Structure 1
């Protein structure tokens, strides 16, 4: 394909490097430093998109490309046309061979287990590298804010990190931008976990964002980098009333994990905010606590960068990197907690998979009518011999007494036998020996059938948790906290559902608030947020819904 630059010079496009919803990225023959984005002809509001790109070209931020050629922003550099109308633009080309999305660095699991096709340097990342990534991200944000632009959709897929910890922001044409005439080109998309609380419930396609909204998302990214991938509003121990509120509600109230006065406490397997230098803790408080009510209180990207670059790092006895002020080492504590949990799970697993040996050494006593208590009656005192004339009367009275006694015995003995049978039935249903003994002893003291039955009645059968009826089960059972997964929408593939299940199991936590899962269908990573509904329900990616149970 041959296109024309704004100065009339021709541009020959080469192979398609990537394709997405808005258009395709082509290499530019003869110009390895650039690539061309060509919009789809049927793109909604194409004219508005091209007008925005043209305005961005007219106001390039200083520092978008560093002096050594490293690209910090893929900012549009020139408009392209087909000779009759504009169809796309040129932008700097970045080297993606050694770059990964930022969640691959901030998430410890993703970092330690790169995909076979991904760069292999991430397992070697240390905490000092993460601090440097955070500082370089601050520089990129500061460069954007040098012009009248707001990143807007400030999520992890738009941030790339290379093996020198340098950061590039991509998809710059989606940013909010205001041109020299005051015309606003808005950013209508956002990810909830990176959205500032003041924007909650607003129509972003019609609402202009302020730069403080970027500073909220920047603080979240820094928290993820420094705090072992823990989101400040998603993972923690909720100590307030009721269920833990969602991330936006917590952000609006200024309650974050371990924050001052927050009901969301630090998770046992997360480092506490107190291990950070005091200056960094203050910036977090300004970003999340003070900024919830006054967005302008949030620290700027330049403030964050200066503080991060000024941190002094040391090493604990086990080799963990941490601020020199930290005592004790948070990573040692987390390692110890994980070891204790693994040991507990292994112990429990051993008990649950091996049958218990319980030798029967003596036979149980037999149950028979002969074992019943013997009914005793007071002895009849001797009487003086009756007169001969009353002999017949005494004989009649004696026969009557014998008949009454026999009748009493007829009723008592069957009653005891029935009670004993009930006792045996109760024993067969699982009562312990002490209960059986007490029941047998109380047989002659008005133990009734209804009493025994009500005591040993089996509990109602437990109904296992299950996803909604319209969910599509995916794959067979696997070992772990959750053995099954199901797709909850037509946009959710089974391979991705199973990947989410595996990511949840990998956390070792029954209800993680957020996980990152790889989709074998799109070959991309996605962050999903999880809440316990009928079963653990995870949402994210491209409107995916996954049930794990």
Structure 2
């Protein structure tokens, strides 16, 4: 093991826990991460480089440990670990192997799906929203700090040692590619906080869903030396969205940057409109940037509107609640929309629209007007589209909840659907899902 700490080194955390170094897991811009043995089992230890082990950083880490965050989407600092010198670090949970870095996604080393990417985007938005709701600004949202499960879309936010209480002026300002233009330019009175986080978050979402940076078009290709001055011009002084509807000077090159042309064309208007607003108006007006709640609602609605191509089976994003769809991004065949389940929540009423694709699911958050958190996992399953075991092509909605539903067919007749039972899927069917009202539409 080559690093600042040797294997077998024993340290003691500030709360008295023994910490024995096992091996080094990796290194980053601020320090190295080690696998360590503690009284509570194996953990991870981030150990700062001498240049980064400043009194300011120590103060930030100690405050984060004291504040705590009981949220499984974050590898939060749980204990401060000093040494006999000025060096220090902190303990956090180990990152499970199923979580992969975004660089592997951008280099196309991971197999994933549009549904998983949309889920990851939604979960990422809600993770940072959880921080902002506690008055904490992350300040370094970038592709290097998010890991995701390419199968499920679950996310894990790492490197949380730069998050500070809103208004705190110490520490870093972020990674240049993700920094808000006002921070790149060094505008007077501009400082990293939740408003600049909203820009960084939008850049991250664009890269996650479009596999490209929103400000890297022809202008980047014309730069001979991408030094700091060039980066400041690209991201701060003269930023132009690659799909700016008015200024086309930075449009993607059709040969060198063809990927983003295809991914953008495959995105529905619900997402295109938010990205366009954020990277035109939002570039110059920080207070007008898209809020987390807007991203959350749009991402959920698009995720619930994903359909499978009948010819090639590939997943396609469609515009929520629209009666028609375009063609498959993969094979070009016309998309056939499956039936739609519309759900009206209890007060304050909200509408959800779910395309009943094969194995479609309804979750607890679909029935809540203002869900605290979206969760597409098995534990929150309420209903599931199933195929009749002896009649292929006949589908029904299975009750996976713990309450009995009441249903009304299109002819006015009614029935009860107990937990575990299935109601045949027909247009005009209306259901009471225990407070939330649902209806099946042909399109």
Helix, strand or coil at the partner of 1:185: coil
Structure 1 residue 288 corresponds to structure 2 residue 279: yes
Structure 1 residue 38 corresponds to structure 2 residue 47: yes
Q: Deviation of residue 290 (structure 1)?
A: 1.6
Structure 1 residue 145 corresponds to structure 2 residue 106: no
The whole-number CA distance in structure 1 between the counterparts of 2:135 and 2:199 is 18
The residue aligned with 1:261 is 246
The residue aligned with 2:199 is 216
Please tell me whether the aligned partners of residues 233 and 250 of structure 1 are also in contact (alpha carbons under 8 angstroms).
Answer: yes
The residue aligned with 1:321 is 315
Q: Deviation of residue 24 (structure 1)?
A: 4.4
The residue aligned with 2:214 is 232
TM-score by length of 1: 0.48
- Once the two structures are superposed, residues 307-341 of structure 1 have per-residue CA deviations (whole angstroms, 9 ceiling, x without a partner) of 211110123444332223452444447xxxxxxxx
The residue aligned with 1:88 is 89
The residue aligned with 1:171 is 159
1:51/1:320 CA distance change after superposition, 3 Å: same
1:81/1:200 CA distance change after superposition, 3 Å: closer
The residue aligned with 1:15 is 23
- Once the two structures are superposed, residues 195-227 of structure 1 have per-residue CA deviations (whole angstroms, 9 ceiling, x without a partner) of 2111123299x9631212222122122222322
Please tell me whether the aligned partners of residues 267 and 318 of structure 2 are also in contact (alpha carbons under 8 angstroms).
Answer: no
1:197/1:75 CA distance change after superposition, 3 Å: same
1:140/1:283 CA distance change after superposition, 3 Å: same
- Once the two structures are superposed, residues 162-202 of structure 1 have per-residue CA deviations (whole angstroms, 9 ceiling, x without a partner) of 243211222221x24138xx7533214423x2221111232
Structure 1 residue 302 corresponds to structure 2 residue 300: no
Q: Deviation of residue 53 (structure 1)?
A: 0.5
Q: Deviation of residue 54 (structure 1)?
A: 0.5
1:289/1:23 CA distance change after superposition, 3 Å: same
The residue aligned with 1:102 is 102
The residue aligned with 1:6 is 14
The whole-number CA distance in structure 2 between the counterparts of 1:44 and 1:250 is 26
Helix, strand or coil at the partner of 2:67: coil
Larger strand fraction of residues = 2
Please tell me whether the aligned partners of residues 159 and 168 of structure 1 are also in contact (alpha carbons under 8 angstroms).
Answer: yes
The whole-number CA distance in structure 2 between the counterparts of 1:9 and 1:91 is 13
Q: Which runs of 5+ in 2 are unaligned?
A: 1-8, 221-229, 320-324, 333-443
Q: Deviation of residue 52 (structure 1)?
A: 1.2
The residue aligned with 1:431 is none
1:235/1:103 CA distance change after superposition, 3 Å: farther
Which of 180, 184, 204 is matched with 1:196 structurally? 180
The whole-number CA distance in structure 1 between the counterparts of 2:245 and 2:76 is 39
TM-score by length of 2: 0.59
Q: Deviation of residue 280 (structure 1)?
A: 1.9
The residue aligned with 2:411 is none
Helix, strand or coil at the partner of 1:14: strand
Please tell me whether the aligned partners of residues 203 and 214 of structure 2 are also in contact (alpha carbons under 8 angstroms).
Answer: yes
Report matched runs for 1:510-521 at 5 Å: none
Q: Deviation of residue 25 (structure 1)?
A: 2.2
The whole-number CA distance in structure 2 between the counterparts of 1:246 and 1:3 is 41
Larger helix fraction of residues = 1
Q: Deviation of residue 30 (structure 1)?
A: 4.2
The whole-number CA distance in structure 2 between the counterparts of 1:256 and 1:30 is 51
1:83/1:288 CA distance change after superposition, 3 Å: same
Alignment length (residue pairs): 300
- Once the two structures are superposed, residues 139-181 of structure 1 have per-residue CA deviations (whole angstroms, 9 ceiling, x without a partner) of 22223323333332322122212243211222221x24138xx
The residue aligned with 1:492 is none
Structure 1 residue 159 corresponds to structure 2 residue 146: yes
The whole-number CA distance in structure 2 between the counterparts of 1:35 and 1:272 is 37
The CA RMSD measured in Å over matched residues stands at 3.4
The whole-number CA distance in structure 2 between the counterparts of 1:320 and 1:235 is 28
Please tell me whether the aligned partners of residues 62 and 146 of structure 1 are also in contact (alpha carbons under 8 angstroms).
Answer: no
The residue aligned with 2:342 is none
Please tell me whether the aligned partners of residues 135 and 308 of structure 1 are also in contact (alpha carbons under 8 angstroms).
Answer: yes
The whole-number CA distance in structure 2 between the counterparts of 1:266 and 1:37 is 39
1:308/1:262 CA distance change after superposition, 3 Å: same
Report matched runs for 1:437-476 at 5 Å: none
Helix, strand or coil at the partner of 2:164: strand
The whole-number CA distance in structure 1 between the counterparts of 2:170 and 2:81 is 20
Q: Deviation of residue 291 (structure 1)?
A: 0.5
Please tell me whether the aligned partners of residues 254 and 262 of structure 1 are also in contact (alpha carbons under 8 angstroms).
Answer: no
Which of 262, 284, 299 is matched with 1:271 structurally? 262
Q: Which runs of 5+ in 1 are unaligned?
A: 66-71, 115-121, 239-244, 334-549
The whole-number CA distance in structure 1 between the counterparts of 2:41 and 2:34 is 13
Q: Deviation of residue 86 (structure 1)?
A: 7.4
The whole-number CA distance in structure 2 between the counterparts of 1:81 and 1:92 is 18
Please tell me whether the aligned partners of residues 240 and 280 of structure 2 are also in contact (alpha carbons under 8 angstroms).
Answer: yes
1:85/1:196 CA distance change after superposition, 3 Å: closer
The whole-number CA distance in structure 1 between the counterparts of 2:32 and 2:70 is 27
1:289/1:132 CA distance change after superposition, 3 Å: same
The whole-number CA distance in structure 1 between the counterparts of 2:290 and 2:114 is 22
Q: Deviation of residue 137 (structure 1)?
A: 1.7
